[in-house]
Amino acid sequence: MSYCEGKVAVVTGAGGTLCAPIAVDLAKKGANVVLIGRTRGKLEKVAAEIASAGGVCRVEPADVTDEKAIGEIAGRVAAEWGPCRFLVNGAGGNNVKAMPTRLRFSEADFSPTADFAKDRGFFDIDMDAFKSVLEINTLGTVIPSRVFGLQMAKAGGGAVLNFASMNTYRPLTRVAPYAMSKAAIANWTMFFAQYMAPAKVRVNAIAPGFMVNERSRQYLMTPDGGLSPRGEQVMHHTPAGRFGEAEDLLGCVDWLLDDSAASFVTGITVPVDGGFLSSAGV
């Protein structure tokens, strides 16, 4: 019997490139999967894939920073399926308005940008956008953890899996708020792990490397499928010699969620990066 068969698994960001395959995999292993995300259409595509494979799921559109909405979902799920046993905090994102196009300070930073879309420094970026990135990536993990973590504790245990990033370890250029928030995820994972240990709730995180998705293709690859200059830099630091795919995460996710395999593992962040962090590129 699978470690998750017949148990409730909640996946936030379930319509995304990385978490959709995780949700599908959990359903194939017998979990009753709750799909949470902001866009119903994306969730329904994942639900259709799960249904076609004979799995069980439910679509619950919501903003993960809305604690009232997440609490209502938790109540419905508990009443109909029982308590959450596994929580995958995959919701998050970035905002181009919080990303400078210039990588280092220059004389141009002394003057307001004339063309925000094409040329902006750190001092030109939209601070509301900056705050929104921090909120979705931090509170978007904390709030589901509060709601479903308490449910797990009342039921006698569970496992939480957060999403960190390569930015957790070193801030990549142009993504200051995203990097800040992902560094915070590793810290939050350690805090929540030690806090929830008496309740038999384990809390860990994974840090995906450079994964191929619709957004990353735009800056890692050229239209003909070759490597962009940024893609070449990434590959120069990746001993595995390729970009990652969502399916590369599944084994690590299973290990960290499975109490029989990882019963003494809590509070850690595991890079799944093809060796990116191990390589200085020289």
Instruction: Say if residues 122 and 100 touch (Cβ distance below 8 Å).
Output: yes
93: left (phi over 0), alpha (psi -120 to 50) or beta: left
- Nearest-10 Cα torsion for 70, 262, 278, 271: -10
pTM for the full predicted model:
0.95
Please provide the CATH number assigned to the domain covering 8-100+131-278.
3.40.50.720
Q: How far is CA 69 from CA 33, 75, 77, in A?
A: 18, 10, 12
Per residue in 2-40, pLDDT tens? 999 999 999 999 999 999 999 999 999 999 999 999 999
Per the DSSP assignment, residues forming a β-bridge with 56 are 32
Domains of the chain by residue range: 8-100+131-278
Q: Which residues are catalytic?
A: 178
Per residue in 205-243, pLDDT tens? 999 999 987 777 777 888 888 888 888 888 988 999 999
- Give the pLDDT score at 183: 98
Helix H, strand E, coil C: the string for the chain is CCCCCCCEEEEECCCCCCHHHHHHHHHHCCCEEEEEECCHHHHHHHHHHHHHCCCEEEEEECCCCCHHHHHHHHHHHHHHCCCEEEEEECCCCCCHHHCCCCCCCCHHHHCCCCCCCCCCCHHHCCHHHHHHHHHHHHHHHHHHHHHHHHHHHHHCCEEEEEECCHHHCCCCCCCHHHHHHHHHHHHHHHHHHHHHHHHCEEEEEEEECCECCHHHHHHHECCCCCECHHHHHHHHCCCCCCCECHHHHHHHHHHHHCHHHHCCCCCCEEEECCCHHHCCCC
Per residue in 117-176, pLDDT tens? 999 999 999 999 999 999 999 999 999 999 999 999 999 999 999 999 999 999 988 899
